[in-house]
Chains A and B, each alone.
Chain A
Amino acid sequence: MSRLIEIITSSQPDIRNLSLDVVCRAASFRELIAECEELDRFRRHSDNLYERVRALFFLYAIHRFHIPLKSGSTGATVIPFSGYEALLKRRFEEALDIFLHAQASSGAGGALSSALAAGYRALGFQTLADQVRRSVRSVRGNQWMFRTGHPDDYPLRIRPELLDRGQSSLFPILHEATPVRMDLSHSGWSDIFFLGMDFPEGARVLNISIDLAVRGQGSGSPRPPVESYLRVIDEPVLRLTSVDLKCTADIRSIAEIFDFGRDYLGLLKAAAIASGLIPPGMEGASEPLSDVLRQLLGSPGRGIEIVSKVNDIPKGSRLAVSTNLLASLIAVCMRATGQIRTMEGGLDERDRRLVAARAILGEWIGGSGGGWQDSGGVWPGIKLIQGEIAAEGDPEFGISRGCLLPRHRVLPAEEVSQETREKLQNSLVLVHGGMAQDVGPILEMVTERYLLRSETEWRGRLQAIRILDEVLGQLRAGDVRLIGDCTMRNFEGPIQTIIPWAANHYTETLIRAARAEMGSEFWGFWMLGGMAGGGMGFLFDPHRKASAQGRLGEIMSETKRRLESAVPFAMEPVVYDFAINERGTHAEFRRGESALMPVDYYLVVAPPLLRTEMRLLPPTRRAELDRFSAACRRNPEFAGAVENLFDRLLPQSREDEGGAAQNLDALLDRHGFDRAGHEEIQANLRAGRLGLAQNRLPVNVTIRDVAPGDVVDARHPLNGSHKSIGADAIASGAVAVVSLAGGVGSRWTKGAGVVKALNPFARLGGRHRNFIEVHLAKSRRVSSEYGVDLPHIVTTSYLTHEATESYLRMEQNYGYPGPVYLSPGKSIGLRMIPMERDLRFAWEEMAHQILDDQAEKMRESVQAALIGWVKQMGEGGNYTDNLPMQCLHPVGHWYEIPNLLRNGLLARLLAERPRLKHLMVHNIDTAGVDVDPRILGLHIDSGAAMTTEVVERFLEDRGGGLARIDGRLRLVEGLALPGEEIESSLSYYNSNTMWIDISQLLAMFGLTRADLADASKVRSAVRSVASRMPTYITLKDVKKRWGKGQEDVFPVAQFEKLWGDMTALPELKCAYVAVSRLRGQQLKEPAQLDGWLRDGSAAYVESLCLW
């Protein structure tokens, strides 16, 4: 039997927990391919979930991390487009068959392995997700909801108490208040579903229910942060209101409830569905919602109103606010329909488990996801939650080792004393650091590493398990200082061993500052939830807590100000006051005068009612207003409500907006905005002369892959003289480096608008470093090797210039001894509202990843809303409805080289260094590129004006490549390819690293070195070449932030010109050289980082750097 299959199927822990890496390291290329064949056969036939999934992840890891490093690969092969397409459509099995067939016929290699790795990984996660869904559906108490498809089948009835309005004209209100949860230790993210289902013994969490108040806001005393309200109303609608998101809607059709993206009420809708109020089986039913409501409420003409409220807790708190809100809403709906027997007070264990199971279902329905501990707020106090081995009778029995739902044990006061609880409260400072984060990828990494049992990470997991026992011991012993010691060790040790990305530069800066200020009175850092930077805890000696709260707030704000152009922040940091909640979720029945909604509810619903003539309002709406006005007079909680309402009613002052517009105009003027050019592009866009479809080359153009001899392969040893030619040139001062850093990397921070070049993206050489620092460290090494001062130029734009300049000044060029120049951008664009045509083209005509069913529904509904937005805003209009900086865009990297001519930097360099002949131009995110004498030698030897480095195309390399277009060898952008399948037939991808011969380039512009002093001649030379370059329209996602850490993402249109198109000019002599991926790969998305770290790329970069 194969060694790997033995590891998967063994029941002995020492074999079962063997690391894949150990086995693969020793194996040859051929042996690995043979293992893969066996594993693939095995996973197709095994009916055990765990075995199948582990085999899939083994296959992924072998293809991703091992095969590309072994010699024996057949080199460049092309990834079949049909397989790529099947991957996008989530037909993973089909995709894998296509790739395996290609491998059998053309041999294994890096490109095909990249495709196979992606396919196996995606299938692995899909198998896991499907199993979680099946398990959620099969939980007893959930199954009926999937059978109920028609109002006539509807089996729920409202509790009669909720229909009894007594003397009042309004119905009573059921109110649920729910704490959130924080976790003291999650044993290395052991609350992910798969870990609980496969390794229940190791899946343990210490979880505490807490009340919160944001320091310096509101009344100040902590209370349950999450509240939900339910009542019967006199209209046959489902009225949903989110008080925090200031959004309300009357839902009249079943389809609307299942439409999650159209408004901000997705969570309330998911709760209505998961609670069975509108069962999930009704999706697609065409009957009116009123039919369901009539069954529920016993008579026609009535409906239900549900209101949610989160008391000022910002998004990303790592306290599972949204899951607990979902659980709270589900609990109130289940109480109202008798599914939970107690209408008031707390819940018993059976009902809590049911609510937790429904919350998991709700998260799946709403397309979000969390861990199994997240609904911990439903339970009271401090509890140990742990995985449970599936026994006969459990739906999971025979499928997975553990159950979907863990077991909760609430720690009684005898075990953790009241005094200890108070000590913990008095020592812990809870904060939200303000960083915007996406924990999703971290949870995937955890699953992946658990399955692969990588040696160090597995040791980390075992250590995390021991730390939880230590924390538990200290809780019993009542020693909070030692708890701080444990959580600190946990963060510095196992957490970062398992997932290095859980820590970041910001958090480490805060910890250093806390330690520096508080010394031994700082007891430890505590990472809350999935990663650091958002919600976090700091433990201090209790007598310093008050001052620590104040100081920590200041430190966070200062650090944020310093880092905000480099690190994505969603909001201003906050400090919380908190208290342990000892009763869990709790309900209260409010009738008569006390049946009031929260104050802010009235501020949302009253303005439109007040604008309606009184006689036109239904009596209950009038009664609602009466009750509100009475409360304003008598109820102290409603103090100030009238003033707030007044503010909402009167038209808002336009001063702010006016200020923003002025600011935008000033920015445009300052950065040389070409209004005439913009209007021309806008007119062309509106007229359909420019657009996504128009980006493409005509279909009658012939596009072929490169021919033998077109590309020099520098992955293999080159002619020895190249190296010496290059070395001589470097030593003689003929080379300068140009790092292109004008962009913000919209994919890197999903449109958050921070400077990518300054983002401390990874820990290298012992600490977090940003891209500029890494590039300078490589230049430092080359300078020292060749005894020169290599000039290093960083191009900037309006978006990046100030921040880059101030960072370099603050960090003194990161100690780089040679000259560092900034080349400020001279061009700027104003973003535009996209054309509906282009949005539809992007969504419907261009290949895109199909998401899983639920997420896909969400996406369709968001897209419908975006079309509405475009129409409302005016297609092709200027995009100005955001912060001024978010309305501008850089106009593509074509301009970055001409900018060197226009801003005088090249003239200055040439004057200072007359021997300068060549520029190595590279993207900021090509971390592995350096001034390599062999490639420089090749470039000089070829006599080319420009030599471009290309890499073998892997699956993720989309965006054009090297091709013969109508016979001419040139770079082509992905945007310009008439069909997406063509890209897959191109063997090489453009790394965008170019070696440029300065004299030949100037000649192409019709300039001499002397002409560089003549600004108008340079300007007209640049304009004349620019006019020969195509203008591409692209769609970019831009974030608009609002409320407390909320973000909306809008697609906006912008134009760009790209440098690769220079290779189409017949007078420019171009050469191409294939380099290794280690050198040529670009880091476009943070999700790539983990693989980059694990496949040796990071180590390679470190080997090039001299810190």
Chain B
Amino acid sequence: MKAIVCTALACALGSAHAAQVAMEDQSQLKVPPASQAPVFMPPAQSELPDNAFGKMVRDGYALFVDTQRLAPAYVGNGMKCSNCHLDQGRMAHSAPLWGAYPMYPAYRKKNDKVNTYAERIQGCFQFSMNGKAPAADSHEISVLSVYSYWLASKAQIGVEPPGRGYPDVAQPAGGYDIARGKQVYQQQCALCHGADGEGQKVADDYVMPPLWGKDSYNWGAGMHRINTAASFIKYNMPLGKPGSLSDQQAWDVAAYINKHERPQDPRLVEGSVEKTRLKFHANDGVNLYGQTVEGVLVGQGTGK
């Protein structure tokens, strides 16, 4: 309980526009601190049985790593599940599926209800993939759930394992600086993600994901929060060199990335960025949606 209060406090402090109603971000599902060493080991691929269950696991796996190509009806951008969940959903501190599956059903303030695991994945499609949620009993949700279940084999139900989620990176005392973040971006990120965050493709397929613009995650995705992006970046980026950026660099570059336009929040309230900000963003961690940065209103979306 104490941790929940602290989290709420941190959110309120971090937001320039704290409203009266305390609305937490996803962290009501707690993330163990990075100081707790991950111990859980998901099963090896060689342990996968060659039967109907194994086939579903393989189908879920394929969809996880090649989402846009295999489920174009549900993906509205160039992202794959494995872009934000490294090592195919196996890696600790990269929101591994084995840390997510055992925690649902769970209440989420984001939609103010108890979410099943299927509903949680539907949220990924709606926001991170800027698409349309497959039905809860669809092939897509089924195989992704089966893949998650398999990775979580022998995990304890309802116990938060160390390595779950992206560990919090406390906001530096001096806050963050977008201009410094731009420098970090140019030095450390542009090589793969492009000078203008556009990602890189081979033929029609993204190999390195776009970080902003029309093919990236939308304004409703958890990654639009600077705190969440900083956590992801600190523990996962640059690819193959996690932990090489300082906390300050992670926050600065997360702010630089997340001040850029991306597809509109699909929950847009009456066409108004301000109303949407008040309802969904004012107490959702640290984010720039609906705020004016360098004289420009952030959160206008990229259009269709």
Do A and B come together as binding partners?
no
A interface residues, Cβ below 8 angstroms from B: none
B interface residues, Cβ below 8 angstroms from A: none
